[in-house]
Structure 1
């Protein structure tokens, strides 16, 4: 095995091995989980790799060149390890995964078998299947600009460069009332015109659902009450008094970028891109060809 240390290589060649797998999952919020398929816990690098999780792995597919390495992790859902509600909330999406082959009698003898991140997770019958994608997965993505009239940037990202903490473009306040984790209501929520947060974000800042967010579908007034409705319900409990942050929405039009955000210098669309009529237009002598419809 290429890259293996001498001690582990000697152990493998002995003909009597004491090997197991160890897994470490690190979520984007910094929470770490450590498991092993050995029947006793292991301690590696100051972390305890638990043995009571039922986590196993299918055969690892490893390839040369730029092909994608992949495998699948199987395990049981429990409050002590991976919880179904946290998977439903997307907290494990894109989490980093490292798998070792370990000599459980001497954990210093180990080799990294797989390093990547979690892809699709499926749940059924109190168990889960997590697709694991290798580091070369990112090489299969398409990159480049799309030529279109609307802006291709996300409000506040490195292309847009708009500062979301600019006064008047974000508002943090406790929720007064909520329905189906999708509609959020406030009395006396003034200072922003109706529709100001449409296409924006609602972010949960505290409570059990902290870190979750949703895209705003409607921002309207219903009598004295302001109603902010999301496209999809939040997959976590949000009750009255929970602190949320509303971020102004952008519809990607040049006029919105100029008038609402005063950020036209960073507009990432092509508003003067000719339409299809211009592309199929032909020369004619009766009138100048302006790119309009042919009659």
Structure 2
């Protein structure tokens, strides 16, 4: 039987919200004045962090919600927000009866745009129904549309991923050097995910590899990353048919149309021969 919330004059009910970051960290908060443990997650008392009104509809348009709070809790800091640790995090918002432990989920989605101002932050939430607005029909393209080692590509990511140790960091050039990095050029367009150090769990894109073999990434690097910090590097792919066939032997799974005539040919018209 589904409970009817707020049906009596006095209720022992608080709001909770849960963040599931992409690096595997789960954070829970509640508007109650004491910490609550349920669903296997400790929800810290944080009355300053509350979701705004949640609009839900029976239609296919995405539900809207927003969350605001103060950067006072040690679990959410301006540095972590700037570093992108909360980008794309899954969000769960609901009600919890702090006496019986009964809870009900009201909203599920992901964190959208995040902004900071003074000593606080605000974030737009994107509901799951937003996925219904995506166009499921792929568009033609000369390059492969599949993500490297993702669905459609079907290559095994472990075959192109290796764990390395950093030997030096240049924060000004935004580069990292690794010991004995094999085939450095092949990592252009790949990814780097930190295992140790102050940026553990953060994934970065590899923009280029310079002549010295240092890896340049697309996000700011913490200058305090110590030598010996471990990172997991995955090779990249330029999504061309030649690379897919010659380097990976995976032309059968190429998701592109490299030989399809372009718009210039489709809009051309015959001219008399000279």
Q: Same fold (TM over 0.5)?
A: yes
User: For 1:165-204, what aligned pairs fall within 5 Å after superposition?
Assistant: 165-166=158-159, 169-180=160-171, 182-186=174-178, 189=180, 191-192=182-183, 195-204=185-194
**Alignment gaps of 5+ in structure 1:** 287-294
Seen in structure 2, the aligned counterparts of structure 1 residues 111 and 264 have a Cα distance that, compared at 3 Å, is closer
Seen in structure 2, the aligned counterparts of structure 1 residues 21 and 205 have a Cα distance that, compared at 3 Å, is closer
Partner of 2:234: 247
Q: CA deviation at 1:241?
A: 1.2
Confirm or deny that 1:215 pairs with 2:205.
yes
Confirm or deny that 1:127 pairs with 2:120.
yes
Confirm or deny that 1:22 pairs with 2:22.
no
* Contact 2:32/2:47, CA 8 A, preserved across alignment: no
Seen in structure 2, the aligned counterparts of structure 1 residues 101 and 232 have a Cα distance that, compared at 3 Å, is closer
Seen in structure 2, the aligned counterparts of structure 1 residues 274 and 82 have a Cα distance that, compared at 3 Å, is same
Q: CA deviation at 1:247?
A: 2.6
* Contact 2:169/2:223, CA 8 A, preserved across alignment: no
> TM-score w.r.t. structure 1 length?
0.80
Seen in structure 2, the aligned counterparts of structure 1 residues 159 and 237 have a Cα distance that, compared at 3 Å, is farther
* Contact 2:171/2:222, CA 8 A, preserved across alignment: no
Cα deviation digits, residues 158-217 of structure 1 (max 9, x gap): 211222333xx4443211111117212357x4752x632222222323223222222222
* Contact 1:205/1:244, CA 8 A, preserved across alignment: yes
Q: CA deviation at 1:156?
A: 0.8
Q: CA deviation at 1:231?
A: 3.2
Distance (Å, rounded) in 2 between the aligned partners of 1:139 and 1:249 = 30
Q: CA deviation at 1:89?
A: 2.9
Seen in structure 2, the aligned counterparts of structure 1 residues 60 and 153 have a Cα distance that, compared at 3 Å, is same
Distance (Å, rounded) in 2 between the aligned partners of 1:236 and 1:68 = 40
Task: Tell me the number of residue pairs that the alignment of Structure 1 and Structure 2 aligns.
Answer: 273
Partner of 2:131: 138
Partner of 1:153: 146
Please provide the CA RMSD for this pair: 2.8
* Contact 1:76/1:126, CA 8 A, preserved across alignment: yes
Partner of 2:110, secondary structure, is strand
Cα deviation digits, residues 227-265 of structure 1 (max 9, x gap): 222233246853321122333222111111122222211
Seen in structure 2, the aligned counterparts of structure 1 residues 134 and 179 have a Cα distance that, compared at 3 Å, is same
Seen in structure 2, the aligned counterparts of structure 1 residues 246 and 80 have a Cα distance that, compared at 3 Å, is closer
* Contact 1:89/1:236, CA 8 A, preserved across alignment: no
**Alignment gaps of 5+ in structure 2:** none
Match of 1:100 among 94, 97, 101: 94
Q: CA deviation at 1:152?
A: 1.0
Partner of 1:65: 59
Cα deviation digits, residues 33-67 of structure 1 (max 9, x gap): 22222333344445443224511121111222112
Seen in structure 2, the aligned counterparts of structure 1 residues 49 and 195 have a Cα distance that, compared at 3 Å, is closer
Distance (Å, rounded) in 2 between the aligned partners of 1:91 and 1:15 = 41
Distance (Å, rounded) in 1 between the aligned partners of 2:149 and 2:40 = 38
Partner of 1:33: 27
